């Protein structure tokens, strides 16, 4: 599956994330930011567009209702960030840390998470369309009551992930790893799994496989 990549300007101005406090509205665009520290801040309805952000830290910051469009994040730390109600479109996260990140009630379109640490992320009540999770550790993350359309989990660690209330029809889990996940048999219908995974689910049904 191909997703639309961030549409970035040919030339980006060097900047710092603290510049957002200098704006009348919390809006930044057409910038390349490298090495900013923006931890434990609280700023609502931030809008970022046409940006590359590298080697930066946003640990514990509240970005509720953030709007991200055409942004590329590289080696950034979003541990324990609060992005409740986020709108995220044409965005890539490459080698980022999202440990315990809160992203419930959010919308994702044409988004890629590549080689990310995403343990204990909360995505509950969110909508995903054309989203790729690739080679990422997603242990104990929560996809409760989500709507998934054209979503791929490619070689991810999905151990103890919750898909409670989320239909997995057409979703391919076959290349990913898990010993257990939380999902109802009804919501599992149409999910693409490997032979080994199928045996695990059969065991959950109480079947005696010999």
CATH number of the structural domain spanning residue 67: 2.160.20.80
Calpha distance 82→94 (Å, rounded): 19
Convert 171-194 to b/e letters by CB count within 10 Å (16 or more is b).
bbbeebbbeebebeeeebeebebe
Q: Is residue 210 part of a domain?
A: no
Calpha distance 119→121 (Å, rounded): 6
Other Cβ atoms closer than 10 A to 86: 24
Q: Is residue 69 part of a domain?
A: yes
Calpha distance 38→40 (Å, rounded): 7
Asked if residue 171 has pLDDT above 80, the reply is yes
Q: Is residue 134 part of a domain?
A: yes
Asked if residue 201 has pLDDT above 80, the reply is no
Asked if residue 209 has pLDDT above 60, the reply is no
Q: Global pTM?
A: 0.93
Q: Is residue 144 part of a domain?
A: yes
Taking residues 50-78, report their average pLDDT.
Answer: 98
Phi/psi of residue 188, each to 5°? -80, -15
Q: What is the pLDDT of residue 24?
A: 82
Q: Is residue 95 part of a domain?
A: yes
Q: Is residue 8 part of a domain?
A: no
Confidence grade of residue 150 (pLDDT, cut at 50, 70, 90): very high
- Give the total number of structural domains in the chain: 1
Confidence grade of residue 23 (pLDDT, cut at 50, 70, 90): confident
Please state, rounded to an integer, the average pLDDT across all residues of the chain.
94
Q: What is the pLDDT of residue 162?
A: 97
3-state secondary structure (DSSP) of residue 189: coil
- Determine the structural domain holding residue 71 and report its residue range: 13-204
């Amino acid at each position: 599956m191909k997703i639309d990549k961030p549409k970035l300007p040919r030339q980006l101005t060097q900047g710092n994330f603290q510049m957002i406090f200098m704006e009348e509205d919390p809006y930044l665009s057409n910038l390349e930011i490298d090495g900013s520290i923006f931890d434990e801040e609280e700023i609502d309805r931030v809008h970022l567009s046409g940006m590359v952000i590298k080697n930066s830290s946003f640990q514990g910051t509240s970005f509720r209702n953030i709007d991200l469009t055409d942004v590329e994040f590289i080696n950034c730390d979003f541990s324990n960030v609060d992005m409740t109600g986020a709108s995220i479109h044409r965005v890539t996260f490459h080698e980022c840390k999202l440990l315990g990140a809160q992203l419930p009630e959010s919308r994702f379109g044409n988004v890629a998470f590549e080689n990310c640490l995403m343990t204990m992320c909360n995505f509950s009540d969110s909508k995903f369309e054309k989203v790729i999770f690739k080679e990422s550790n997603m242990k104990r993350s929560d996809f409760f009551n989500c709507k998934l359309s054209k979503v791929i989990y490619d070689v991810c660690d999905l151990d103890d992930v919750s898909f409670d209330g989320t239909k997995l029809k057409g979703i391919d889990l076959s290349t990913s790893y898990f010993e257990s996940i939380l999902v109802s048999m009804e919501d599992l219908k149409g999910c693409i799994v490997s032979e080994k995974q199928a045996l695990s689910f059969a065991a959950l049904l109480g079947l005696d496989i010999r």
